[in-house]
Amino acid sequence: MYTPRWVVQFLVENSLGKMYLEMYPSSEIKDNHKIANAPSTQTRTPKPLHEVKIIDPACGSGNFLLYAFDFFYELYIDQIENYGADYEESDIAKLIIENNLYGIDLDDRAIQLAQLGLFIKAKKKRSSIGEINYNVVSSDFYLPEYDRVRQIFEQGSTLDQNQKELIEKVWSDLQNAYKFGSLVRIDEQTQEQLRAVEGRAHDDLFAAADLAEHQSFAETFFKNLSEAVEQYARTSSDTFLTSQTQDAITFLELLTTKYDVATANPPYTDTKDFGPKLKHFIEDNYRKPYKFNTNLYAAFIKRCFDFTNEDGKVAMIHPRTFMFIKTFEDVRKFIINKAHINVFVDYSLSNLFGSVMVDPAFYVLEKRMSNPRDAWFVSLDQYTRTPKEKYKKDIFLQALNDYIDNIENENNYTIPQQKLKEIKSWPLIYWISDEFRQKFKLSDMEAIADVCQGMSSSNNNRFLIFWWEVSDFSISKEVSDKKKWVRYSKGGPFKK
């Protein structure tokens, strides 16, 4: 499903654009784009624009990256014209593609389209663009069995059992990258192992001695991985495999880089549809300490967090089920504890993606938590299944304008984020009054009465029929008449 351009624009501008304004608060960018919560003073140390990185870890044919190209172009021009930056206009297109834009997808074809799209954009800016190195890569590549590269890791080093297991596990994840894509974790796994040794080193002398050795292992791990891949490529006579191995090296680089912004419209696959390998991988990597394993989109939220640096931003769109359902409690707790909700659009059921009805929310989270302002929510759920449903986009754009211009709007809500913790399981209930929220602090219904399920057939297809399907004479009027069918009040079809 392709994210509509106006949503992409909103997410890129309110993540990357806001970050730029944090560095250059008086930039004209804020007059030309709708960026909420733009700071009036500098709140971020500027870094050269060619070092600002954005990744879309499920980029498809590059919707987000293509818009980000245009946006970055404006930022470079702003840098040249207003901040004396030493860039040549003729170099900008290549600079953007080679330094600012990063993308991964499982789908080889989609990646080819993304690269082509970027190439056309670059060509429009400069006809003699030359060769371009893309950081947009497919995870659909081939790697040999671990035994064929084992000696690269093990020669001349004394690896302990844990390290050997870690290498084999990461290698096996990489071999399955055609299935796991950008969800493969490398740095994170070595860091986890290092933290475990650090923990033990506190009160165990042997572990303390191990620590330095583990630190150097963690530092050289990525280098050894790419060396293994390269050495294999050199020995292989198959040029197709060799070019795929080059993809594997780019993929490794992308996985072990930190980004300023991660943005995505990730896949929405429920755990029951994972298949055994993916299920095992997700349980292994996205279940602890917080449960992100209930849906692929939840795993991608965690992945986007891990991809970004400590004051990075995460801009995503996916189903809004995580806002309230118990199985996503950990996802909410993670978000509320670890990030500031800069903007959150509760779009809800709509034709946002064309003919397929979807139930999305989109938002920008900021990892830097110091002195955050209230979280801003836009409520469009209230228009679901009403005549206004088809005007949600216009209602949203008006709410955005009003929020920026500080004008009252019935769809805008601001709330100190901490208040979301006051209701058990931390559902994202942002629209109620403080007075009503206080009521959730009173004791639960369970403390006063037994709460239990009402009537349940346990197999509706087998035991239930509609009243008009049988003769009125066979429907029981009272218990003693022992007729075959008994009336049963059912709640009707499932409604969220």
When asked if residue 104 is in the footprint of ligand SAM (CB under 6 A), the reply is: yes
Quick one: 140 or 330, whose CB is closer to ligand SAM? 140
175, 250, 265, 293: residue in contact with ligand SAM (rule CB under 6 A):
265
39, 117, 144, 267: residue in contact with ligand SAM (rule CB under 6 A):
267
| Distance of closest approach, residue 302 Cβ to ligand SAM, in angstroms | 12
Angle of CA points 391, 392, 395, to nearest 5°: 90
Q: What count of other Cβ atoms lies within 10 Å of the Cβ of residue 150?
A: 15
59, 122, 336, 399: residue in contact with ligand SAM (rule CB under 6 A):
59
Query: For residue 123, what is the enclosing H or E element?
Result: helix 108-125
| Distance of closest approach, residue 360 Cβ to ligand SAM, in angstroms | 10
Q: Distances in Å between the alpha carbon of 381 and those of 180, 392, 420, 454? A: 33, 9, 18, 29
Q: Residues touching ligand SAM: how many (CB under 6 A)?
A: 22
Asked if 374 and 380 touch (Cβ cutoff 8 Å), the reply is: no
When asked if residue 263 is in the footprint of ligand SAM (CB under 6 A), the reply is: no
Is residue 370 classed as helix, strand or coil in its secondary structure?
coil
- Report d(CA 217, CA 158) in Å as an integer: 10
Is residue 340 classed as helix, strand or coil in its secondary structure?
strand
**Within the chain, what is the greatest distance between any pair of CA atoms?**
93
| Distance of closest approach, residue 347 Cβ to ligand SAM, in angstroms | 15
Q: Which of residues 191-250 bind ligand SAM (CB under 6 A)?
A: none
Q: What are 133's two structure tokens?
A: 């190195």
When asked if residue 140 is in the footprint of ligand SAM (CB under 6 A), the reply is: no
Range 416-425, long-range pairs (CB < 8 A, 24+ positions): 416/374, 416/375, 417/336, 417/340, 417/341, 417/372, 417/374, 417/375, 420/332, 420/336, 420/375, 421/336, 425/326, 425/329, 425/332
Quick one: 58 or 252, whose CB is closer to ligand SAM? 58
When asked if residue 117 is in the footprint of ligand SAM (CB under 6 A), the reply is: no
Question: Cis omega (within 30 of 0) on the bond before 46?
Answer: no
When asked if residue 1 is in the footprint of ligand SAM (CB under 6 A), the reply is: yes
The letter for the amino acid at 247 is: D
Quick one: 64 or 334, whose CB is closer to ligand SAM? 64
Quick one: 116 or 209, whose CB is closer to ligand SAM? 116
Instruction: Select from 351, 294, 347, 338 the least CA-distant residue to 316.
Output: 347
Quick one: 27 or 63, whose CB is closer to ligand SAM? 63
When asked if residue 4 is in the footprint of ligand SAM (CB under 6 A), the reply is: no
When asked if residue 312 is in the footprint of ligand SAM (CB under 6 A), the reply is: no
Residue nearest to ligand SAM (CB): 181
- From the list 46-54, 210-218, 264-272, 377-385, the region that binds ligand SAM by CB under 6 A is 264-272
When asked if residue 295 is in the footprint of ligand SAM (CB under 6 A), the reply is: no
12, 19, 38, 106: residue in contact with ligand SAM (rule CB under 6 A):
106
- Report d(CA 258, CA 102) in Å as an integer: 11
Q: What are 185's two structure tokens?
A: 């974790």
| Distance of closest approach, residue 279 Cβ to ligand SAM, in angstroms | 13
- Report d(CA 196, CA 465) in Å as an integer: 58
When asked if residue 285 is in the footprint of ligand SAM (CB under 6 A), the reply is: no
Stretch 152-181: interaction string toward ligand SAM, x if CB under 6 A? ----------------------------xx
Give residues in contact with ligand SAM (CB under 6 A).
Answer: 1-3, 56-60, 63-64, 104-107, 110, 180-183, 265-267
